[in-house]
Structure 1
Amino acid sequence: MGRRRCHRRYGRVAGLLGLAVVATGSVAAHGAALGGGGREAVAVPTWLFLVTGGAAIGASFLLASLVTDRALIAAVHEWRRRAPVPGASRLGSVLSLVGVVGLLWVFVVGVVGPQRGASNAAVLLVWVGWWAGFTMSTYLVGSVWPALNPWRTVADSLSSLDRLYPDRLGAWPSVVGLLALIWIEVVSPVAGDPRTLAAVVAGYTAVTLSGAIAYGPDRWFETVDPIARVFRYYGRLAPLAREGGSIRLRLPGTALAETRLVDGFDEVGFVIALVWATTYDGFVATPAWESAVAPIVEAGVPPLVLYLVVLVAGYLLFVGVYLLGTRYSRQLAGTYLSTATLARRFAPPLLAIAAGYHLAHYLEYFLSLAPSLIATAATPLALRETVPVLALPGWFDAVALASVLLGHVLAIWTAHAVAFDSFPGRLQAIRSQYPYTVVMVLYTISSLFIVSQPTIEPPFL
């Protein structure tokens, strides 16, 4: 009877978590607005999904059942090498100057440059050079955003009122800010209209500098600013990190297992928002979304409202599913640790999944449009009838599938390390991972299916 009840419990966990992930997708580059085109349908046979899902599940259980040597896990995560960086302060000053010049470039070229997205160097700089290329470099190599951040550079040169920031707000304003930015990106022409982009950047600049002046740059960029938090979290995946005047080399993703990366549920909320944002951004650019919402729009619901409602509802669903998985994890582990504590500890591994989805779509996007960025940057005020685009071979689609899977495997490994750091018993650590493994495996299989589908411009906008 006990074993039967246990099986029913696992079934309920899988069923509840499965409901939340069957409609998930992955981040879309919205490249059609820039002339990069959308992803064509890729014929992915059923056996590939089965093999992929089986490989993910096999890797999860191998990690849980075979790699149980705490000394080995600690050795992997504590491996470090350091190297001095001559002229680190000078390099930081150069990066700060580059960031400010880049921000001014976006304003000027966005307003007076050619008003066609594919020919405008400001649009290409933001979406191809920054959000695609620079973001990938942040989690693949290391983060230099603290030095490059133009808003921080300007804020540091201004006088601050140093008002007391309301502690009760925590990081929630950054969650709202991230979701708002994603909604604006999806529903507005900001990805293809230069002046709209310049206006959005100007508005973001005004809000950011006002907040930094009111509460101080340190408080604002460490707590409130969503972009700074995105790059800070993504930087924890990277093998390189700055430590004083030196560079620290570590194995990719191992910093996600550190205990103080996420300190409160507000920061857990931001991690989940980042994962959901990548999913939402891609899901609304699929034919499945168009078919599902067509009757709702035809019934008279404004598309802008519909996109906003789905954005908020999907985020709340993701939060609920994560908390449900955490509660079952606590029950299966039989631990005195609270659900809130476990939620904080196991949130960082989800960043590996978010990075995997980002890489899956933006690598091809970046490589295809990088020649366009270089060509338009050479003559930013000239209208070009055509811009060079790199045609990638058909087999490159497999890179997207591999990126999603690698992000999943890294998340599984990191969560495994967190479990052995959190629980004294070997069986506790293994059992605690069952709900999280269900979430990650179902999420990955669903996302691999979406990755293989064609992408379109978000409909009805």
Structure 2
Amino acid sequence: MTGTPAPDAVSVLAHGIGAQHDLPLSPFYAFAGAFTALFVSFLALGLLWSDSRFRGDRAGRPLPDPVRRAADAPATRTALRALGLAAALAVLLCLLLGPDDPDRNPAPGAVYVLLWVGLVPASLLCGPVWALLNPLRTLHLALCRALGRDPAAGPPPPPWLGMWPAAAGLFAFTWLELVAPDPASATALLTFLAAYTVLHLAGAVRYGARWFDHADAFEVYSRLLGRLSPLGRRADRSLVVRSPFNGLDATPRLPGLVATVCVMLGSTAYDGFSDAPSWITTVQTSALGRTTTATLGLLAAVVLVAALYTLCAGATRLISGRFDHPLTAFAHSLVPISLGYLVAHYFTLFVTESPRTVMMALGTDNPAPPEPLLGPGGIATLQVLAIVTGHVLGVVAAHDRSVRLFPPGRAVAGQLPLLVLMVAYTCGGLALLIA
């Protein structure tokens, strides 16, 4: 959580954001307002929303034909692939040939700010953009053409695999960002990128280009956030304008979905908690060592988020009397919550460090970050609104799914455990802001 930029780039990139725990937040009003918003939303939905209104990938109004033709044109897709590959090669050259100093090398900022944080607004505005830019898809396509092979050739991945590779990849990346001893070093980034490239190209060679759809961590990250974009595709692949709730409702219930969303939530929560003085002291004095202790802390945050969701999902089954719906039935409602956490934690980082990274890449000497757009009070308000809004959207998504799955007499009661979960997540998120 940040109100002002961190004192140096190493500190910023090591934790995603600079540490700032003195924002002008009133704990009483923050918690009371959040609880009121969630409770009132729950009551209003229970009284006024008795039938499912979301239609998933069947919903949406088609965009004008010229727009759809331009978006799907081979030239457009080729240009985007070339852009993604050129950016990846530029980062690689900076890591190999540039100074091993994040204050003078734009590569760490390109990875941790432009890619990781920048995918959030890009995916919200345009949908799953990383699928179009992904340089690994381009490398796989070039390799297949060189070998005279169909890029789609290969058996489908085993059904049980689902999104588990993406969950593991997200955990590995957030470990690199938040736990690794020197995450902004060229050695650390090159090692991660090399291993990531080899693993996913091997998967694509084995299973075809469809491997990237649910296994590539950054594609899945972008796809999940893109579910809340007003732009999307219907089941017939038409490009449409839609309610973000319909996009969210179309989230596939694949194995590993819960783990993926919980990694997104848990890692962001750990990012905030890792700046707390008590945790810093624990890490520094632990007999296990700094890296081991921090790794266990990150893993514990993810496991806690997942355990709370699993517990509430089980209670929902018990209260509703429906034991046939999968654990993933309500996992889509965690996506807007994750988005709220991401906005609250990384907004200031993005608006200050992304221009600095771009100016550095253009050769500007000692580029200074721009002045913050918002003062401490504005940032505090934005953070609270982002977290509360994300949870309210999660309540709406969960309610619509509940009235679809459960008998009318139990639809509202079946949501009580999920409401408790939302309140717990909200209180946890706000506590990290004002700790």
For structure 1, list consecutive stretches of 5 or more residues without a partner in the other structure.
1-24, 454-461
Instruction: Select which of 18, 29, 34 maps to 1:53.
Output: 34
Whole-Å separation in 1 of the counterparts to 2:170 and 2:371: 31
Asked if residue 416 in structure 1 is aligned to residue 399 in structure 2, the reply is yes
Structure 2 letter corresponding to 1:221:
F
Q: Provide the residue aligned with 2:410 in structure 1.
A: 428
Corresponding pairs, count: 414
Matches within 5 A, 1:201-216: 201-216=193-208
Structure 2 letter corresponding to 1:185:
E
The alpha-carbon distance between structure 1 residues 387 and 285, as it changes in their structure 2 partners (threshold 3 A), is same
Matches within 5 A, 1:339-358: 341-358=325-342
Distance apart, 1:431 and its partner CA:
0.7
- Judge which range, 207-216 or 324-333, deviates more: 207-216
On the 8 A contact 1:268/1:344 being kept in 2, the answer is yes
Whole-Å separation in 1 of the counterparts to 2:431 and 2:8: 21
Secondary structure of the residue that 1:241 maps to in structure 2? strand
Q: Deviations over 1:151-207 (max 9, x none)?
A: 111112223783774544443233222212211221225653345323422332222
On the 8 A contact 2:61/2:241 being kept in 1, the answer is yes
Matches within 5 A, 1:249-288: 249-258=241-250, 261-264=252-255, 266-288=256-278
Asked if residue 227 in structure 1 is aligned to residue 210 in structure 2, the reply is no
Structure 1 letter corresponding to 2:9:
A
Whole-Å separation in 1 of the counterparts to 2:56 and 2:165: 35
Whole-Å separation in 2 of the counterparts to 1:141 and 1:223: 19
Matches within 5 A, 1:333-344: 333-335=320-322, 337-338=323-324, 341-344=325-328
Distance apart, 1:378 and its partner CA:
1.5
Instruction: Select which of 283, 286, 310 maps to 1:323.
Output: 310
The alpha-carbon distance between structure 1 residues 272 and 385, as it changes in their structure 2 partners (threshold 3 A), is closer
Whole-Å separation in 2 of the counterparts to 1:231 and 1:76: 18
The alpha-carbon distance between structure 1 residues 57 and 311, as it changes in their structure 2 partners (threshold 3 A), is same
Distance apart, 1:403 and its partner CA:
0.8
Q: Deviations over 1:183-241 (max 9, x none)?
A: 122122565334532342233222222222233221x2133222221111111121111
Matches within 5 A, 1:10-21: none
Whole-Å separation in 2 of the counterparts to 1:371 and 1:223: 31
Structure 2 letter corresponding to 1:51:
A
Secondary structure of the residue that 2:266 maps to in structure 1? helix
Distance apart, 1:104 and its partner CA:
0.3
Q: Provide the residue aligned with 1:21 in structure 2.
A: none
Q: Deviations over 1:285-327 (max 9, x none)?
A: 3224224x25xx5352122222222333333333332221112
Distance apart, 1:428 and its partner CA:
1.2
On the 8 A contact 1:175/1:226 being kept in 2, the answer is yes
Structure 2 letter corresponding to 1:59:
V
Matches within 5 A, 1:58-73: 58-70=39-51, 73=53
The alpha-carbon distance between structure 1 residues 352 and 186, as it changes in their structure 2 partners (threshold 3 A), is same
Q: Which has the higher contact order (CA 8 A, sep 6+)?
A: 1
Distance apart, 1:347 and its partner CA:
0.6
TM-score with structure 1 setting the length: 0.81
The alpha-carbon distance between structure 1 residues 60 and 435, as it changes in their structure 2 partners (threshold 3 A), is farther
- Judge which range, 361-370 or 155-164, deviates more: 155-164
Whole-Å separation in 2 of the counterparts to 1:221 and 1:76: 22
Q: Deviations over 1:33-72 (max 9, x none)?
A: 357643352132233124323323333323442222427x
For structure 2, list consecutive stretches of 5 or more residues without a partner in the other structure.
13-17
Whole-Å separation in 2 of the counterparts to 1:145 and 1:253: 21
Instruction: Select which of 360, 366, 390 maps to 1:385.
Output: 366
Distance apart, 1:410 and its partner CA:
0.6
Distance apart, 1:413 and its partner CA:
0.6
Distance apart, 1:95 and its partner CA:
0.8
Structure 2 letter corresponding to 1:81:
R
Instruction: Select which of 385, 388, 393 maps to 1:405.
Output: 388
Matches within 5 A, 1:283-322: 283-291=273-281, 293-294=282-283, 298-322=285-309
- Judge which range, 87-96 or 192-201, deviates more: 192-201
- Judge which range, 437-446 or 128-137, deviates more: 128-137
On the 8 A contact 1:186/1:281 being kept in 2, the answer is yes
Secondary structure of the residue that 2:370 maps to in structure 1? coil
Asked if residue 446 in structure 1 is aligned to residue 422 in structure 2, the reply is no
Whole-Å separation in 2 of the counterparts to 1:77 and 1:205: 31
Distance apart, 1:246 and its partner CA:
4.9
Distance apart, 1:278 and its partner CA:
2.0
The alpha-carbon distance between structure 1 residues 32 and 139, as it changes in their structure 2 partners (threshold 3 A), is farther
- Judge which range, 155-164 or 177-186, deviates more: 155-164
The alpha-carbon distance between structure 1 residues 91 and 390, as it changes in their structure 2 partners (threshold 3 A), is farther
Residue identity over aligned pairs, in percent, reads: 28
Whole-Å separation in 1 of the counterparts to 2:141 and 2:341: 34
Structure 1 letter corresponding to 2:410:
Q
The alpha-carbon distance between structure 1 residues 407 and 314, as it changes in their structure 2 partners (threshold 3 A), is same
**Aligned-residue CA RMSD (Å):** 2.9
On the 8 A contact 1:273/1:315 being kept in 2, the answer is yes
On the 8 A contact 2:127/2:222 being kept in 1, the answer is no
Q: Provide the residue aligned with 1:145 in structure 2.
A: 130
Whole-Å separation in 1 of the counterparts to 2:80 and 2:127: 14
Q: Provide the residue aligned with 2:15 in structure 1.
A: none
Whole-Å separation in 1 of the counterparts to 2:56 and 2:208: 38
Matches within 5 A, 1:128-143: 128-143=113-128
- Judge which range, 103-112 or 56-65, deviates more: 56-65
Structure 1 letter corresponding to 2:87:
G
Secondary structure of the residue that 1:158 maps to in structure 2? helix
On the 8 A contact 2:54/2:249 being kept in 1, the answer is no
Q: Provide the residue aligned with 2:9 in structure 1.
A: 33
Secondary structure of the residue that 2:110 maps to in structure 1? helix
Secondary structure of the residue that 2:244 maps to in structure 1? coil
Q: Deviations over 1:96-124 (max 9, x none)?
A: 11000011011001222233213322222
Distance apart, 1:373 and its partner CA:
2.3
Whole-Å separation in 2 of the counterparts to 1:442 and 1:239: 29
- Judge which range, 188-197 or 408-417, deviates more: 188-197
